[in-house]
Amino acid sequence: MKIKAVIPAIIASAALLVSSAFSAYAVEGLMNPDEELTDGTFTYELNDGKYTIISCDSTAIVGEIPELRNGYPVTAIGDRALAGCTGISKLTIPDTVTSIGSSAFAGCTSLSEVTLPKKLESLSNGLFMGCTNLRSVDIPDNVAMISSYAFYNCSSLTDVTLSGSLESIQPMAFAECSVLENIDASKTDNFTFEDGFLYGSGGKNIYRASTALTGDVYVKDGVQTIEAGAFSVCAGIENLFLPSSLTYIGDDAFGYCTGLKSVDFHEGLATIADIAFKECRSLESIQLPTTVSDVGEGAFYNCQSLSKVIIPEGVKNIGLGAFASCPMLKNISIPKSVAVIGDNAFGFSVNSEGTYTAESGFKMSVYSGTAGEKYAKANNFEYTTVDKNLKGLAFAVIGIGLLAAIGVFAVVLMMRAKKGAPKSAKKADKLAREKEEEENYKKIIED
């Protein structure tokens, strides 16, 4: 505002002095770490001359985060600061921001586009969890880590471009992203996206699979770990072929693979983690390898079509609700090796309120004095005791299968010296073993 020449200079000086004093008072007050500033949309907290956004009006409609407030830079967005702000559809975050807290944008269901700051070094836990309208993300080149659940249930996310500095993707980072088809890993040396699979360095881990995969899916030899959530909501997969190199299947690895009918497990697999195959409603039968030690909580929860399960000698722990809400599963044989059976592991259905109800007609075959018998008695299930060694039977099944498919295995072994077994050979191997499994399953039930 211009000061007219006719106004005495002393008045101008006095006005300037008052203005300076007020500004000094305001700045001094804001330097208090406990002082908060609200601009009607965001609430800020000042620390060491830098602002952190700590909350947002949940009804706010805003397109960008401010760079400055009251002369101080906005450098951070706190934990859950914008969580549940459903009015935000597009958001640009300035390069002054170097830190974004856990679940900062969780539940921003209208958010479809976001521009992340260049100096950001990590994507925090649950950062965009439940952002169901988010379609694509270009991760800045300084980002070295994508934390757990960062994009969990981003059900509209189709494309992701990984950063050049990326070193780590933590469990469930892209779990239940139901339309995630393309992952651009061209800028990083630590991950590759090939034939619909996102591999870690060396190809031993699968972190995410494309939801465009359909029909018969073959996991290549050399893969040792399928990470948590890696194949979740890959609804088009029908028949899954796993390699003998695989030792670990993570939490929710194949959750909601609703079209999955069969899984070709191999000897060598040690752990099937919690909810690994939950809601695989078309899965009809499984035979676990003798090398499996642990079946996690809810591992096969709500597999509505599952009617046949073979648990061999060697399995030690079966988690809570591992086979709950599998209404077609009317018989189960528990070997001596099983030491722990969690509550409601078999023979129970679960309603929407989480209440368990015993399935009528469920029967068990167990050994006297074992965890299997204790489970049957505790839940008043009909059961019979057996003396036959399931371990010997399991190995007999494998032995017969090997003899029946010896020609196929010869081809498989030769091809593995090159690029791995051809899909036709693996499928023939699977069919041969399935025939033997069917015959031996009948023997187990009869015994």
HEC profile of 77-135: ECCCCCCCCCCCCEEECCCCCCEECCCCCCCCCCCCEEECCCCCCEECCCCCCCCCCCC
Mean pLDDT of 359-366: 95
- pLDDT score for 59: 87
Name the pLDDT band for 40 (thresholds 50, 70, 90). Answer: confident
Name the DSSP class of 153.
T
- pLDDT score for 148: 98
More confident residue, 416 or 78: 78
Q: Is the pLDDT of residue 20 over 70?
A: no
Can you read off the two tokens belonging to residue 267? 């000897």
Q: Is the pLDDT of residue 431 over 70?
A: no
- pLDDT score for 434: 56
Mean pLDDT of 6-15: 37
CB 412 within 8 A of CB 429: yes
Residue type, 355: T
- pLDDT score for 425: 52
Cα separation, 278 vs 255, in Å, equals 5
More confident residue, 401 or 75: 75
Q: Is the pLDDT of residue 187 over 50?
A: yes
Q: Is the pLDDT of residue 254 over 60?
A: yes
For 70-105, the pLDDT digits (tens) are 999 999 999 999 999 999 999 999 999 999 999 999
Mean pLDDT of 22-41: 55
Mean pLDDT of 319-342: 97
| Confidence (pTM) | 0.81
- pLDDT score for 196: 97
Beta bridge partners, 271, equal 248, 294
* Mean pLDDT score across all residues of the chain: 85
For 271-291, the pLDDT digits (tens) are 999 999 999 999 999 999 999
Q: Is the pLDDT of residue 3 over 50?
A: no
Q: Is the pLDDT of residue 225 over 90?
A: yes
Nearest Cα to Cα of residue 287 among 264, 261, 253, 260: 264
**Per mean pLDDT, which range of 59-73, 130-144, 404-418 is the poorest?**
404-418
For 101-110, the pLDDT digits (tens) are 999 999 999 9
Name the pLDDT band for 33 (thresholds 50, 70, 90). Answer: very low
Domain 32-188: which CATH class? alpha beta
More confident residue, 411 or 210: 210
Cα separation, 19 vs 3, in Å, equals 14
- pLDDT score for 439: 59
Q: Is the pLDDT of residue 409 over 80?
A: no
Q: Is the pLDDT of residue 424 over 60?
A: no
Cα separation, 405 vs 437, in Å, equals 13
- pLDDT score for 443: 53
- pLDDT score for 238: 98
Name the DSSP class of 181.
-
Q: Is the pLDDT of residue 17 over 50?
A: no
183-208 b/e with 16+ CB inside 10 Å = b? bebeebebbbbeebbbbbeeeebbbb
The percentage of residues in the chain with a pLDDT greater than 70, rounded to a whole number, is 79
- pLDDT score for 35: 66
Nearest Cα to Cα of residue 142 among 120, 112, 111, 162: 120
